[in-house]
Structure 1
Amino acid sequence: MAGQKGQERHEVTVAEGPAGRRLDRVLADALPQFSRNRIKALIDGGLVSLDGTAVTSAAAKVKVGQTFAIIIPEVVEAAPVAQAIPLDIVFEDEDLIVLNKPAGLVVHPAPGNPDHTLVNALIAHCGESLTGIGGERRPGIVHRLDKDTSGLMVAAKSAAAHRGLVEQFAARSIERSYRGLVWGRPSPTRGSLSGNIGRSPRNRKKMAVLKRGGRPAETGYQVLRSFRNGAVSEVECRLKTGRTHQIRVHMTEAGHGLLGDPVYGRGSSKRIGSLPAGAQTALAALARQALHAKSLGFHHPVKHGVLQFDSQLPHDMCELINCLE
């Protein structure tokens, strides 16, 4: 429903079923293209009214027959600037985009990395096809990869897709598998690693498995093959939760840190020295943790079909594997 120029206007009339429920929940259910947080922001901004009077409480209980008017202001440009950065696009439609993130690319602007991020690149690439998330023309980042982890990511282009993907991540229904090269051969060769993950009390720049505090985390793993009499193994990891640095922390805690990891241990000089010269050169050239987000599967949040993607290992990891073989 149209409002003033650049605005949308919607009306929602309360039926018997929703009566007595919170206003923000009722409106979010009636307008699924907007998240509940977005509805709350509209209420806080005085953009939801009843009989011409702004409603001020998102928790207000609605009554049968009430008609609420909702004004959606014009979408504003996102604060991050558009920057043309080459992207490896795997899939794209009007609601979402799936891509292969290269190692070295930061996902979101932050202190120390204010620009030249994946968000800047997506704003430039998607342009007007970004229909507005939270009132801004920006991509909806629903999960992240570490700067030096490569592989598959999905981002929303519309508010409805953003909401649907967030719900799937919260329900842990999105399938994600990673490939990594770790020191040693984990035993058993298939299992699950768990332990609460939070900021390390010894080094606030690192995450750690904590006895107290932190957030529950679980990583399933399987050894695919080993090299050099078990000196190095290729593992597949599946995330059951999504904590910061989760795979890197859990594998390090288990005594099988990722090769090249600059934060959680590059490997002892003895371990590195046990590798053939070519593998040592390839490991030095890797200059990052040997971790790649290889597969990604989820339900399309708008069209509802199942989407499944798989990506090849990047050249630097393949080169290291070839030298280990």
Structure 2
Amino acid sequence: MSNSTEELAILPATSEPYQIVYEDDVLLVVNKPAQLLTVPGRHPQNQDCLIRRVQREFPFAEVVHRLDYDTSGLLILPLTKRVLSDISKQFQARSVQKHYIAVVEGKLAKAKGVIELPLAADEQKRPLYKVCPQQGKPSETRYRLLSYNAAANHSRVQLEPVTGRSHQLRVHMLALGHPMLGDSLYAPGAIAAKSPRLMLHAEYIRFVHPLSRAVIEFSAPAPF
């Protein structure tokens, strides 16, 4: 998920610290809090971000993938150029496995499924994205219903992005008729107001360690 939306507005950085989930000589896995950019934004007031905070302690840390400002969860941060290259290739090959937890409005009709809807930038509503069969890039999300809260009429779902388009999970769930709670960009006002934060968290990641070649996996429970 990219940071394109965050380059256009002032986004106050949370004071909540990041957490180190794993550390060795060549890479980190960290848990990013919500309401913190992964990298600096274009706006001069958007310089406080995850990577700059991490680099105070780990000067050689670099970004290989991103989470949106509003999204919390796990990120791999390489500490060497070799590891950066290796992890980048794993992402390009779609061999990195990851899933997210989200809370969405309504009850899903199916317990699990696959959403395949092409996505493109919405030129009329930048910085939003939209489903666009003509110009959109192929995008695929697997979903699984975890639970349904009838009293509140919302569902807890596990989302696995097979592709990694900007705002893919948010737009795909919206297209399915289930906007995410706290989503100030895509959810109707009443649904956006149901949570002080976007209810989307990168809970799990699995990849091959660039040096040992062992498969390693990490999880960080959703804070909601």
What TM-score range do you get, normalising by the shorter chain? 0.7 to 0.9
The separation in 1 between residues aligned to 2:116 and 2:52, in whole angstroms, is 35
Aligned to 2:24: 93
> Is the aligned partner of 1:142 residue 2:64?
yes
The separation in 2 between residues aligned to 1:116 and 1:299, in whole angstroms, is 30
Residues 17, 33 of structure 2: 8 Å contact kept:
no
C-alpha displacement at 1:266, in angstroms? Answer: 4.2
Aligned to 1:172: 94
> Is the aligned partner of 1:212 residue 2:134?
yes
The separation in 2 between residues aligned to 1:118 and 1:201, in whole angstroms, is 29
Equivalent in 193, 199, 223 of residue 290 of structure 1: 199
The separation in 1 between residues aligned to 2:111 and 2:153, in whole angstroms, is 14
Greater relative contact order (Cα < 8 A, sep 6+): 2
Secondary structure, counterpart of 2:82 in structure 1: helix
Secondary structure, counterpart of 2:221 in structure 1: coil
Q: Paired residues, what number?
A: 209
Q: Deviations over 1:104-130 (max 9, x none)?
A: 110011212541111211211103xx2
The separation in 2 between residues aligned to 1:189 and 1:201, in whole angstroms, is 34
The separation in 2 between residues aligned to 1:307 and 1:123, in whole angstroms, is 23
> Is the aligned partner of 1:109 residue 2:109?
no
Equivalent in 144, 162, 165 of residue 243 of structure 1: 165
> Is the aligned partner of 1:202 residue 2:134?
no
Question: Unmatched 5+ residue regions in structure 2?
Answer: 1-15
Equivalent in 36, 42, 52 of residue 120 of structure 1: 52
Between structures 1 and 2, the one with greater helix share: 1
Aligned to 1:232: 154
Q: Pairwise mapping of residues 68-87 of structure 1 onto structure 2 (< 5 A)? A: 86-87=17-18
Under a length normalisation based on structure 1, what TM-score does the superposition of the two structures give? 0.61
- The code of the aligned residue for 2:136 comes to G
Structure exhibiting the larger radius of gyration computed from Cα positions:
1
Q: Deviations over 1:215-267 (max 9, x none)?
A: 11100000111012682100000110111111001000111010110000145
The separation in 1 between residues aligned to 2:144 and 2:17, in whole angstroms, is 33
Secondary structure, counterpart of 2:124 in structure 1: coil
Residues 32, 74 of structure 2: 8 Å contact kept:
yes
Aligned to 1:14: none
Aligned to 1:55: none
Residues 259, 266 of structure 1: 8 Å contact kept:
no
The separation in 1 between residues aligned to 2:58 and 2:123, in whole angstroms, is 41
RMSD of equivalent CA atoms: 2.0
Question: Unmatched 5+ residue regions in structure 1?
Answer: 1-84, 131-138, 273-279, 318-325
Identity %: 33
- The code of the aligned residue for 1:261 comes to D
Q: Pairwise mapping of residues 3-22 of structure 1 onto structure 2 (< 5 A)? A: none
Under a length normalisation based on structure 2, what TM-score does the superposition of the two structures give? 0.87
Moved over 3 A (4+): none
